[in-house]
Structure 1
Amino acid sequence: MIEIVVIKTTGDAIVDRPLSEAGGKGLFTKELDIALSRGDVDIAVHSAKDLPTLLPDDIAILGYLPREDVRDAWISPHADHPLKLRPGAVVGTASLRRGAMVKRLRPDLSIILLRGNVETRLAKLAAGDVDATLLALAGLKRLKLESRATSILDQAEFIPAAGQGAIGLTGRVGDRASEAFTAPILDAATGLALAAERAFLHVLDGSCKTPIGANAWLEGGDVVFQAIVLRPDGSEVFETALRGAPSAAAALGEAAGRDLRGRLPADFFLV
Structure 2
Amino acid sequence: MAEKKIRIGTRDSELALWQAHTVQNKLNDLGYKTEIVAVKSQGDIILDKPLYELGITGIFTKTLDIAMINGDVDIAVHSMKDVPTALPTGIVQAAVLERANTLDILVHKGNLHFLETNGTIATGSLRRQAQWLNKYPNHTVVDLRGNVNSRMRKLQESDWNGAVFAAAGLERINLKPTDYIDLDWMIPAPAQGAMLVVAMGNDNFTLDALSNLNHVETQICTHIERQFLRTLEGGCTAPIGALATYNEDEDTIHFDGVLFSLDGKEKIEVHKIVDISEWKKLGFYSAQEILENGGTELMKQIKNNLKK
TM-score range normalised by the length of the shorter chain: over 0.9
* Structure 2 CA distance for partners of 1:265 and 1:160, relative to 1, 3 Å: closer
Question: How far does residue 85 in structure 1 lie from its aligned partner after superposition?
Answer: 2.2
Cα distance between partner residues in 2 of 1:87 and 1:206: 37
> Which structure's relative contact order is higher, taking Cα pairs within 8 Å and 6+ residues apart?
1
Cα distance between partner residues in 2 of 1:181 and 1:17: 38
Query: 2:206 is matched with which residue?
Result: 178
Q: Is it true that 1:3 corresponds to 2:3 in the alignment? A: no
Which shows bigger deviation, 229-238 or 142-151? 142-151
Aligned positions of 1:196-235 closer than 5 A: 196-205=224-233, 209-219=237-247, 220-235=250-265
Cα distance between partner residues in 2 of 1:129 and 1:123: 12
Aligned positions of 1:3-22 closer than 5 A: 3-22=35-54
3-state DSSP of counterpart to 2:297: coil
Q: Which amino acid aligns with 1:113?
A: D
* Structure 2 CA distance for partners of 1:149 and 1:161, relative to 1, 3 Å: farther
Asked whether the equivalents of residues 78 and 85 of structure 1 are also in contact (C-alpha less than 8 Å), the reply is no
Cα distance between partner residues in 1 of 2:216 and 2:179: 29
Asked whether the equivalents of residues 215 and 225 of structure 1 are also in contact (C-alpha less than 8 Å), the reply is yes
Question: How far does residue 104 in structure 1 lie from its aligned partner after superposition?
Answer: 0.2
Q: Deviations over 1:92-142 (max 9, x none)?
A: 110111111110011110111011222222222222331111100000100
Q: Which amino acid aligns with 2:273?
A: R
Cα distance between partner residues in 2 of 1:148 and 1:129: 19
Q: Is it true that 1:256 corresponds to 2:292 in the alignment? A: no
Question: How far does residue 11 in structure 1 lie from its aligned partner after superposition?
Answer: 1.4
Cα distance between partner residues in 2 of 1:209 and 1:100: 13
Q: Is it true that 1:136 corresponds to 2:142 in the alignment? A: no
Asked whether the equivalents of residues 192 and 246 of structure 1 are also in contact (C-alpha less than 8 Å), the reply is no
Cα distance between partner residues in 2 of 1:208 and 1:95: 13
Cα distance between partner residues in 2 of 1:7 and 1:51: 16
Query: Where in structure 1 do 4 or more consecutive aligned residues deviate above 4 Å?
Result: none
Aligned positions of 1:27-66 closer than 5 A: 27-66=59-98
Q: Which has the larger radius of gyration?
A: 2
* Structure 2 CA distance for partners of 1:183 and 1:153, relative to 1, 3 Å: same
* Structure 2 CA distance for partners of 1:265 and 1:164, relative to 1, 3 Å: closer
Q: Is it true that 1:100 corresponds to 2:130 in the alignment? A: yes
Question: How far does residue 43 in structure 1 lie from its aligned partner after superposition?
Answer: 0.9
Q: Deviations over 1:54-90 (max 9, x none)?
A: 111211111211101000011112545xx85253321
With the length of structure 1 as denominator, give the TM-score of the two structures.
0.93
Q: Which amino acid aligns with 1:110?
A: T
Cα distance between partner residues in 2 of 1:140 and 1:109: 24
Query: 1:125 is matched with which residue?
Result: 155
Instruction: Give RMSD over aligned pairs.
Output: 1.7
Q: Which amino acid aligns with 1:126?
A: Q
Query: 2:26 is matched with which residue?
Result: none
* Structure 2 CA distance for partners of 1:248 and 1:12, relative to 1, 3 Å: farther
3-state DSSP of counterpart to 1:249: helix
Query: 1:71 is matched with which residue?
Result: 103
| Structure 2: segments with no counterpart, 5+ residues | 1-32
3-state DSSP of counterpart to 2:259: strand
Q: Is it true that 1:90 corresponds to 2:120 in the alignment? A: yes
Cα distance between partner residues in 2 of 1:67 and 1:49: 12
Query: 1:167 is matched with which residue?
Result: 195
* Structure 2 CA distance for partners of 1:57 and 1:197, relative to 1, 3 Å: same
State, as a whole percentage, how many aligned pairs show the same letter.
34
